Structure 1
Amino acid sequence: MLFPDYIFESSWEVCNKVGGIYTVLSTRAKTLVEQLGDKLIFIGPDCWGEKNNPYFTEDNKLFATWRKKTEAEGLKVKVGRWNVPGAPVAILVDFNPYFAEKDMIYGQLWEKYHVDSLHAYGDYDEASMFSYAAALVVESFYNSEIRGNKKSAKVIYHANEWMTGLGALYINDHLPQIATIFTTHATSIGRSIAGNNKPLYEYLEAYNGDQMAAELNMESKHSIEKQTALHVDCFTTVSDITATECKELMDKPVDVVLPNGFEDDFVPQGKTFDKKRAAARKRLLDIARALSGDEIEDDAIIISTSGRYEWRNKGIDVFIDAMNRLRTNAENLKKDIVAFIEVPAWVNCAREDLAERLAAMEKGEKFDTPLPTPVITHWLNEQQNDRALGMMNWLGMHNAKGERVKLVFIPCYLTGEDGIVNLSYYDTILGNDLCVYPSYYEPWGYTPLEATAFKVPCITTDLAGFGLWANTVVGKESTIEDGVEVIHRTDYNYNEVADSIKAAVEKFTNATKQKQGRIRNKARTLAEHALWSKFITYYYEAYDIALRKAEARCSKAGE
């Protein structure tokens, strides 16, 4: 198999923690650095300007000669390293100067690839100007550092998500000797269909992607994504379920499926693991106690869901419903249950009354009366319009004293500095006994993979790429006894999903401590099947496909 001498990989989430793609790239980096060293170069947006970027460390000595050339070329870049395992090279580019050339760039894109940018809105322009700037970085670096020194160097440009499509097409046009790979982590039109409460799966074969893009005002994002998929050397996605989506909605089958792996270097071990788990459990239970004024047993089962605030796609609605069904039928439960929704919303501020009560509890004080609105840790802007709080209120979920099931909304990013939890997401997840991710639309599903890596069993669905993969590894429909409960989900079986979550949670809650321990170990064992050391081979296949196509193209041009 052909293997690249250089890989340039661009994403809006390089040194810019926004969502799951950050985890994909940052955990995979170490495995590729071992192969390529400083010839693996990530390109991201310079979103921080003069402020300190906690994910990036600048190094003025790195590629110093090339950096001087970029100044003459008008490129504004920062060169350094991404603060993740492997410390890969990262180049952050200022894309703001290219807004002045936006119409010209879009005009050329239409002439060469018929990409429709006329209907652009929201983040389209910002993403496209970054993508264009990233391509200019690659072009400059290639011409300065690679072309003259290694005429036969095998070079790959790997673009992630529609947001980097414009740059991939620029490379395709201006530097045909560079092999191009495009990975869609979720099709823009598929996510939109699902998010607009339309049945995605039953009618998938009948949907026309272009027609749906027009109906849902998604023409520009769909257009750049589709044309990039059609023109790159290797088109990829992250799961079989999204591969089907690509074929039907973008009229382009993928060349390779690249499942998302995981590097477990930062999962604590031994006594450190136990200490952090105990600290997280105490904090989460104390938050529930402080809000409700109720005595909650130390052995309560802690459950959470997390991810982006996508109401239907992430299954936030069915999670709340399932917790309510547990609450109203709690006579079979042998332990208390405290559930958390850890989904960032429009936070106004941390609750002072809750912070004060938690501080007092640390000194031994106890409280037997609830705080106002005892279901949320941070006040929200326009709180009266929040969907999660609205549904909880409608169902009568007020964390009343004596109820065995409590539900708490933590609507902030868990950075360790939120004012209430004050633990990072990974330190918080350690405190869980069970995680629930009942997704309707989930191309892969990093959250359940992360949970299992931390020995937390989880519940997911077979509409998530991770859920389908878990079934494959287990060799049957995976159940909670296997470490992951994979619930069958369709366009229409919402009630069955809610009841299945309730049943799985009851089964785990009422299991003996020994059995729960075995289930936790099974979850961890399952996660080990998804380490990057195992999944990286799929990338090697994609590199080989792309490099061979580029090689054939250059040979033909030479003739």
Structure 2
Amino acid sequence: MGVTAAASCVVVCKKNTGKNNPSTSNTHALYCTFGSCPSPSFSISGTVTQPQHHYHLDSINSPSHPPSAPSHASLLPKILSIEFAGHRYSFIFIIYSYFPYPFSPSGYHTPLRSSAPLLGSSARSQRDHPGRLHQIITPSNSNFPSANSLSPLAPSNRKDTMSSEGEQQTRDIKNHLLFEIATEVAHRVGGIYSVIKSKAPVTTAEYGERYTLIGPLNHQSAAVEVEEMEPTNPEIAATMQSMKDRGIGIIYGRWLIEGAPRVILIDTKTAYGRMNEWKSDLWELAGIPSPPNDDETNEAIVFGYLVAWFLGEFVCHERKKAVIAHFHEWLAGVALPLCKKRRIDVTTIFTTHATLLGRYLCAGSVDFYNNLQYFDVDAEAGKRGIYHRYCIERAATHACDVFTTVSHITAFESEHLLKRKPDGVLPNGLNVTKFSAVHEFQNLHQQAKEKIHDFVRGHFYGHYDFDPDNTLYLFTAGRYEFRNKGVDMFIESLARLNHRLKAVGSKVTVVAFIIMPAQTTSLTVEALKGQAVIKSLRDTTHVIEQSIGRRIFERSLKWHEGDPMPDEKELISAQDRVLLRRRLFAMKRHGLPPIVTHNMVNDHEDPVLNQIRRVQLFNHPSDRVKVVFHPEFLNSANPVLPLDYDDFVRGCHLGVFSSYYEPWGYTPAECTVMGVPSITTNLSGFGCYMEELIENSSDYGIYIVDRRTKGVDDSVNQLTSFMFDFCGKSRRQRINQRNRTERLSDLLDWKRMGMEYVKARQLALRRAYPNSFSGDEDEEDFIPGVEQKISRPFSVPGSPRDRTGMMTPGDFASLQEGREGLNTEDYVAWKLPEEEDPEEYPFPLTLRTKQPGPPSPLDSASAPVNGSQ
């Protein structure tokens, strides 16, 4: 094995010409022995190239035998003041060393905690040859951010600071600072925006001004969401001013959301002139390629270097407190290998919300979860043209101190695709207060449902032959990922549900909404006409209603005893009849109600429409299942369906999210906190979480389809059965179920979920500063992320108590429902343990558990298929 021995040093001096381009500077080389190296200098000839990067010499002649290795301390860089040829020079230390193969680009530094290559075995080997000169310090006056500005030169593995006397001082971990880095800070793009925004109040309450978010500057969104202010932290102010002095646009402000967290937004456009240099450096540093035409990757690289620049310079100013940097997703992950290799004194956490390769593989026709261990990840990434992105994601995964995912299913996926087992699971939470309606959520459901009724009346005019009080609204929503989001399974199950409802003669009508943004040109004429026709009819009936009321009033004033009572012929005038007839004839429709509300850009190749055509769900009057595809996000300004998404969800009866690839799943979680039952799968993070946390989750209105162990056909049948059983519930049963669903809100609150983030930060600090933690405790493994199962909510809703002998008059309605053959499936008798005092349980009832006690007398009844609204 080769030895790491310093034979000589080269001081490369650059004349301060004042020009912006470092490559135009006059460069000279001085030769000298270094430290305690016992051998004479090597003979070096050639030209030093690329002063801001690694140095390559044309030829190097060394002694036949390498010198003995000096002590590690002698390898530390020294700072000298040099004058040459009458000019003052800035300087660079370059160490000439022998390294074993493969070369570690960290130079003479020992890796922080692992010597494994950043990208694992599948990425490009970090190769170099003996005799290469390696840059340790770059010119401080260069436009390229120097190593001084990017990292303190740590003398050892341990993340410590050095006092002026040279004594080692440990950073303060109790009052540590937290930076959270993501590309969606104060800028909505996807789900990470919701994660950070909803979590901000809890994190701000914990950290106060010690918590700062960092993201790229988007001028349009920042103008609305951020209030600029002067930084209160002097170290942050000094770091920002230093970056501004070197041409980087950067602002500090308050994010105008609950909690008002501090944010730092960096204008990446001001650093695009350095992009090619940084891309070259990233290749040399971590072996990560970067094609020129990938704008998203270019943005990620520039942002990553700017973040590393900021953190490196910040920890040079802040030397007392520990610093934690938490990165979200690969787009913010470029800074992680930079922090690792430049030994920036920050503790890092990386959270992947989904893997790049996993999303692409699941979108194709592959058996993803059963073949995870067999994928050639490099080849698969290359086939899909995302190898460079995959390299960034994998480098971030291996460079961080603590690696986390958002769910157990994603942890399993990351272990095989990213080749590192996650240290923990950080489930996504919600700001439950935002959705909280306490006792009003049932009323809000009724109000929102009435607005959906108005849309349905207009959309199905001319074929509106179903009872709105006996109509159920189902929906699915999310990004337009046809297979990943399970839309293919949803449409197939709707066709089977339609067949089953018609077979049993059900009077229930199901209207299924598909809310997914797609490429459209405009709203269809039919969609707009339907709403216009209904509005005209409503206005006409309102006029007739007022005239009838006025005539009844006038006729009543003239009435005397013995006169006949007013009849309809007197109340409805001939003019009213003509006006009403015109409106009724205007409602005649020659075709079927439309499936889609918008004109699609590519109608014949749209996967959703083609699947609907295949199963022939064309909204025929005989169909019990109607389909509406709304290829646009909802908002209250929509002329067809004027509802915000949250209000629309409240108005629906059931959300269906049969996803095949869903690392977490915010849509079913939002349904839960709003008291709307939902169907999810055991391949979604939310479904796995609730399945592990709750006994019999279907009793809470959370139905979980098995897509892991069952075949496609069996999974579709299970989903169909869930929807069919839901259609058989009575109005009272659905109300009881919504009550129980809404009671799960606290399980998804950030006040509970945020504890997993606390564990991750503590683990990161323990790994970075082990001497600051007393005792011999092992690192806590918090990957389970789930507490013991709970059988039921603490608050039990009202229930029939005739079985207890304590029935009150208010219970007669429930009792009558049971004896009419309506099995509520809500409550079962519970046999108390012998050691417990029955007097503490005035009503010996609990919600269903896996081991129920004696059956209820009402359990003998069977549920009907037809339920009333």
Give the structure 2 partner of residue 255 of structure 1: 423
CA deviation profile, 1:303-342 (whole Å, cap 9, x unmatched) = 1111111111110111111112122332233421111011
Q: Structure 1 residues 181, 112: closer, same or farther in 2, change over 3 A?
A: same
What is residue 536 of structure 1 aligned with on the other side?
A: 754
Q: Aligned partners of 1:501, 1:494: CA distance in 2, in Å?
A: 11
Corresponding residue for residue 57 of structure 1: 226
Deviation at 1:363, TM superposition (A): 5.2
- Separation (CA, whole Å) in 1 of partners of 2:202 and 2:327: 18
Relative distance call for 1:157 and 1:370 in structure 2 (3 A) is farther
Asked if the contact 1:176–1:553 (Cα under 8 Å) also holds between the matched residues in 2, the reply is no
What amino acid is aligned across from residue 18 of structure 1 in structure 2?
V
Say which of 184, 207, 223 aligns to 2:352: 184
User: How far did residue 356 of structure 1 move?
Assistant: 4.7
Compared CA separation, residues 83 and 323, structure 1 to 2 (3 A): farther
Residues 509 and 625 in structure 2, CA contact (< 8 A), matched pair in contact too: yes
Determine if the alignment matches structure 1 residue 313 to structure 2 residue 484.
Answer: yes
The answer to whether 1:169 aligns with 2:337 is: yes
Cα shift at 1:547: 2.1
- Match for residue 493 of structure 1? 711
1:16 aligns with 2:234: no
The structure 2 residue matched to 1:510, chosen from 728, 752, 759, is 728
Letter in 1 for 2:666: Y
* C-alpha deviation, 1:192, in angstroms: 1.3
Q: Are positions 1:107 and 2:327 aligned together?
A: no
| Counterpart selection for 1:211 from 379, 385, 401 | 379
1:84 matches 2:84: no
**Aligned 8 A contact 1:288 1:406 in 2:** no
Aligned to 1:130: 303
CA RMSD of aligned residues (A): 2.7
Q: What amino acid sits opposite 2:494 in the alignment?
A: M
Any conservation in 2 of the 1:350–1:418 contact (CA below 8 Å)? no
**What is residue 320 of structure 2 aligned with on the other side?**
152
Deviation at 1:452, TM superposition (A): 0.7
Q: Counterparts in 2 of 1:209-288, with a 5 A limit?
A: 209-270=377-438, 273-274=441-442, 276-288=444-456
Mean Cα deviation higher: 280-289 or 163-172: 280-289
Q: Which residue of 2 aligns with 1:468?
A: 688
Matched position secondary structure for 2:294: coil
Counterpart Cα distance in 2 of 1:80 and 1:167 = 22
How big is each residue's C-alpha offset from its partner over 1:219-275, in whole Å with a ceiling of 9 and x where there is no partner?
A: 111111111111111111011111111111111111111111111121141575445
Partner of 2:159: none
What is the match of residue 740 of structure 2? Answer: 522
Give 1:40 deviation, angstroms. 1.6
* 1:343 Cα offset (Å): 0.9
**What secondary structure, in the 3-state scheme, does the structure 2 residue paired with 1:159 have?**
strand
Structure 1 residues 286 and 412 mapped into 2: Cα distance closer, same or farther (>3 Å)?
same
Q: Helix, strand or coil: the match of 1:320?
A: helix
CA 1:372 to 1:14, structure 2 compared with 1: closer, same or farther past 3 Å? Answer: farther
Distance 1:271 1:514 in 2: 16
- Cα deviation, residue 491, structure 1: 7.9
- The one-letter code of the counterpart of 2:417 is L
> Aligned with 2:468: secondary structure?
coil
Render the CA deviation track for 1:397-434: whole Å, top value 9, x for unaligned.
22123422111111112243344323221121111110
Q: Which stretch of structure 1 is more off in the superposition, 259-268 or 99-108?
A: 99-108
Secondary structure class of the residue paired with 2:179: strand
Cα separation, 1, equivalents of 2:356 and 2:771: 30
Q: Structure 1 residues 359, 167: CA separation in 2 closer, same or farther (over 3 Å shift)?
A: farther
Q: 1:17 to 1:3 in 2, by over 3 A?
A: farther
Q: Which amino acid aligns with 1:56?
A: E
Deviation at 1:502, TM superposition (A): 1.4
Give the aligned partner of residue 808 of structure 2.
none
Residues 274, 351 of structure 1: alpha-carbon distance in 2 compared, 3 angstrom cutoff: farther
- Quote how far apart the aligned CAs of 1:459 are: 0.6
Tell me the equivalent position of 1:427. 647
Q: 2: distance between equivalents of 1:379 and 1:472?
A: 43
Partner of 2:10: none
Separation in 2, partners of 1:371, 1:93:
55
Determine the C-alpha separation between the residues in 1 that align with 2:211 and 2:636: 31
Q: Which moved more, 1:94-103 or 1:231-240?
A: 94-103
Cα-to-partner distance string for 1:364-405 (whole Å, 9 max, x where unaligned): 447453777611122222223211112112322221234221
Does 2:613 correspond to 1:442?
A: no
Are residue 96 (structure 1) and residue 301 (structure 2) matched?
Answer: no
Q: Secondary structure at the match of 1:87?
A: coil
In structure 1, distance between residues paired with 2:671 and 2:196: 18
- Structure 1 residue 198: Cα displacement: 1.3
Higher relative contact order (CA 8 A, sep 6+): 1
Q: 1:134 to 1:298 in 2, by over 3 A?
A: farther
1:101 positional shift: 2.4
Listed as ranges, the gaps of 5+ residues in structure 1 are none
Looking at structure 2, the residues matched to 70 and 348 of structure 1 have their Cα atoms a distance apart, in angstroms, of 44
Residue aligning to 1:407:
627
Q: Between Structure 1 and Structure 2, how many residues are aligned?
A: 546
* 8 Å CA contact retained: 1:94, 1:133: no
Are the structure 2 counterparts of residues 270 and 231 from structure 1 closer, same or farther at C-alpha, using a change threshold of 3 Å? closer
1:23 counterpart SS class: helix
Give the 3-state SS of the residue equivalent to 1:265 in structure 2: helix
On the 8 A contact 2:229/2:254 being kept in 1, the answer is: no
1:549 to 758, 764, 767: 767
Query: Structure 2: how far apart are the matches of 1:118 and 1:196?
Result: 24
Q: Which stretch has the larger CA shift, 396-405 or 415-424? A: 415-424
Distance in 2 separating the partners of 1:54 and 1:353: 38
* Equivalent-residue separation in structure 2 for 1:181 and 1:271 (angstroms): 40
Larger deviation, residues 24-33 vs 105-114: 105-114
Cα distance in 1 for residues equivalent to 2:291 and 2:342: 24
1: CA distance between counterparts of 2:444 and 2:702? Answer: 23
User: Structure 2 stretches of 5 or more lacking a match?
Assistant: 1-171, 539-583, 774-869
Larger radius of gyration: 2
Write the distance in 2 (CA, Å) between the matches of 1:156 and 1:340: 44
State the 1:504 CA deviation. 0.7
- What is residue 594 of structure 2 aligned with on the other side? 374
Whether contact under 8 Å (2:526, 2:594) holds in the other structure is no
Match of 1:46 in 2: 217
Instruction: Please give the TM-score of this superposition, normalised by the length of structure 2.
Output: 0.59
Contact 1:4 1:547 in 2 (8 A): no
* 3-state secondary structure, aligned to 1:8: strand
Q: Give the C-alpha shift of residue 153 in structure 1.
A: 0.9
CA distance in 1, matches of 2:756, 2:173: 13
Q: Which residue pairs with 1:338 in the alignment?
A: 511
Contact 2:473 2:512 (8 Å CA) reproduced: yes
Query: TM-score normalized by structure 1?
Result: 0.90
- Give the 3-state SS of the residue equivalent to 1:329 in structure 2: helix
- 401-410 or 434-443, larger mean C-alpha shift: 401-410
Answer 1 or 2: which has greater helix percent.
1
Once the two structures are superposed, residues 16-70 of structure 1 have per-residue CA deviations (whole angstroms, 9 ceiling, x without a partner) of 22222111111111100001123221122223x3x35576122234459555554
Q: Is the 8 A contact 2:460 2:593 kept in 1?
A: no
Which residue of the partner structure matches residue 201 of structure 2?
30
Matched residue, 2:467: 297
Question: Counterpart of 2:616?
Answer: 396
The 1-side partners of 2:588 and 2:647 are apart by 28
- Identity within the alignment, %: 28
Greater Cα offset, 100-109 or 386-395:
100-109
